[in-house]
Amino acid sequence: MTVPGSDSAPVEEMGGEADNQVDLHLHSTFSDGTFSAEEVVRRAHAAGLRVISLTDHDSSSGFRPAEAVGQELGVEVIPGAELSAKVDEVDVHILAYFIDPDHDELNVCFETYRNARRERAERMVRKLNRMGKRVSMEQVLAKAGEGAIGRPHVADVMLEEGFVFSTNEAFHKYIGYGKPAYEEKYAMPPAEAIRVIHDAGGLASLAHPKLYSRDDLIPGLAKDGLDAIEVCHIRHGASDVRRYKALAEEHRLLMTGGSDCHGDGRGESIIGTVKVPSEFVVALREAADNRN
């Protein structure tokens, strides 16, 4: 059994078989995914997964509908979310697991993030309009629906209006980092994001660390209370898996993993393509139980 990447690694190298298939990093239409929460679970079941976590950006609203379908199909759904943080001028994402989706402070935090996302999208739309790309905020809101607004929704509108040939082109030319219509997003300091997650009864894991190229940040995040590192990810090859496993062990952090699937038309991340040892879930659940 392998972990996708440029140099795929046997799961056994991480110390366990992926006997009960797991995907702890999935998105739905409650953020920037293209599948409903229910459809995520159905597709996970079709892929043979038994344990998943819906980790929408700034939202846990998909948990209840996902859980209901999961109970019907025999798929465990762990309540999760993904928060943005910034440390040393680097944007990092913090995954939350085993949170109480009804926790008041957590939901206030989500609302703050979602309001900031809307304001950010409005600024990007104004920039695009000044560049002659006539898109409207109403179109972006329609694309986002009930979900937290993200740049992919802006890209969807640009594609629909014929300003780009693909959503990737929208990012590469207009709304990606450093591009003319890009706007900074709201982000908490990591310590604050981790505290909110802990107060909601959850565990905090650093998402896809390879993408930041800043492994030097991990010791500080561990001191801030980080609980885990996402070791297995669609963009992590064998050498990355080994490196992050070693860093997790060095800093006494748990390990997580997932495909980071956003649905159709959102890149190559497909549900179930990243095999995650079931022992990761066992360790996470034990830590969450001890915290609560």
pLDDT band with cut points at 50, 70 and 90 for residue 8: very low
* pLDDT for 266: 59
pLDDT band with cut points at 50, 70 and 90 for residue 269: low
Rounded to an integer, the average pLDDT of 102-114 is 95
pLDDT band with cut points at 50, 70 and 90 for residue 165: very high
Tokens of 149: 């607004």
Of 127-131, 201-205, 273-277, the one with minimum mean pLDDT is: 273-277
pLDDT higher than threshold 90 for residue 176? yes
* Annotated domain spans of the chain: 2-102+188-291, 111-175
Nearest alpha carbon to residue 83 among 234, 201, 204: 204
* pLDDT for 146: 82
Are the beta carbons of 204 and 110 closer than 8 angstroms?
A: no
Rounded to an integer, the average pLDDT of 44-63 is 95
Say whether domain 111-175 belongs to CATH 1.10.150.650.
yes
pLDDT higher than threshold 70 for residue 78? yes
pLDDT higher than threshold 80 for residue 196? yes
pLDDT higher than threshold 70 for residue 239? yes
2-102+188-291: which CATH architecture? Alpha-Beta Barrel (3.20)
Rounded to an integer, the average pLDDT of 269-280 is 88
Tokens of 282: 């066992």
Rounded to an integer, the average pLDDT of 85-110 is 95
* pLDDT for 263: 86
pLDDT band with cut points at 50, 70 and 90 for residue 145: confident
Cα dihedral 55, 57, 59, 64 in deg (nearest 10): -30
Rounded to an integer, the average pLDDT of 237-248 is 97
Are the beta carbons of 147 and 29 closer than 8 angstroms?
A: yes
Tokens of 114: 């979602």
Are the beta carbons of 96 and 203 closer than 8 angstroms?
A: yes
Quote the CA–CA distance of 260 and 233 in Å, as a whole number.
7
Give the tens place of pLDDT for each residue, 56-68: 999 999 999 999 9
Query: Residues 248, 251, 257, CA angle at the centre, nearest 5°?
Result: 20
Rounded to an integer, the average pLDDT of 26-35 is 92
Rounded to an integer, the average pLDDT of 91-102 is 97
**Cα–Cα distances in angstroms (integers) from residue 266 to residues 196, 231, 263, in the given order:** 29, 22, 6
Average pLDDT, the chain: 91
Q: How many other CB atoms sit within 10 Å of the CB of residue 246?
A: 11
Of 6-15, 26-35, 240-249, the one with minimum mean pLDDT is: 6-15
Rounded to an integer, the average pLDDT of 265-272 is 70
Rounded to an integer, the average pLDDT of 193-213 is 97
* pLDDT for 14: 47
* pLDDT for 250: 98
- Stronger pLDDT, 292 or 213, i.e. the higher one: 213
pTM of the model: 0.86
Tokens of 116: 């900031």
